[in-house]
Amino acid sequence: MYRDYRDYKQTSYIRGLTLMRRTSRKQPSFALRRRRQQLLRQLPPLERLLRGSLIERYKPCGKPGCKCAHGPGHGPKYYLSVSYSGRRPQMDYVPQEYHAQITEYLAHHRQVREILEEICEINRELLRRREAL
Ligand SMILES: [Zn+2]
């Protein structure tokens, strides 16, 4: 049995981000620049990053009479799945004691991506206005 965290942990971690994307074209340029500075300050520590998703797995052990035969199996066991273009995703076992940290590192990666995306949107808007970037 697999469960992929990608789908339901994809919500925005940065307050106001989604709203900002929609309204950036109406903001005065000084507000956009201020927002850009704010975003930089929200960057998580850049050494604490992991790309990929956490996969949860349950496995039956196969021992006769074990209760797992009638359930999903033993687990959860966690794997870090990392995709590469043109290759199959790579899976690494995540020991339980790493689970919280790995979850955090994955969240950091999403935050960084969101922040970079919004900074790029702001810069694109400044370009449209023919203003100093
Ligand atoms: Zn079992």
Q: How far is the CA of 93 from the centre of ligand 1 (A)?
A: 19
How many domains is the chain partitioned into structurally? 1
Q: How far is the CA of 61 from the centre of ligand 1 (A)?
A: 4
Both structure tokens of 123: 């810069």
* Residue 38 is assigned to a structural domain of this protein: yes
Q: How far is the CA of 56 from the centre of ligand 1 (A)?
A: 17
* Residue 86 is assigned to a structural domain of this protein: yes
* Residue 1 is assigned to a structural domain of this protein: no
- For ligand 1, a single-atom ion, the residues with CB < 5 A are 61, 66, 68
Instruction: Return d(Cα 38, Cα 28) in angstroms, integer.
Output: 15
* Residue 2 is assigned to a structural domain of this protein: no
Print the domain residue range for 77.
Answer: 9-128
Both structure tokens of 70: 């009638």
**pTM of the entire predicted model:** 0.77
* Residue 56 is assigned to a structural domain of this protein: yes
Q: How far is the CA of 77 from the centre of ligand 1 (A)?
A: 14
Asked if residue 76 has a cis previous peptide bond (ω within 30° of 0), the answer is yes
Asked if residue 95 has a cis previous peptide bond (ω within 30° of 0), the answer is no
Give one DSSP letter per residue of 42-98, joined into a string. TPPPTTS---SEEEEEEE----TT-GGGGSS-EEEEEEEEEEETTEEEEEEEE-GGG
Q: How far is the CA of 81 from the centre of ligand 1 (A)?
A: 25
Q: Tell me: the pLDDT tens digits for 1-29?
A: 445 444 444 445 555 555 555 567 789 99
Q: Tell me: the pLDDT tens digits for 61-119?
A: 989 889 888 888 999 999 999 999 999 999 999 999 999 999 999 999 999 999 999 99
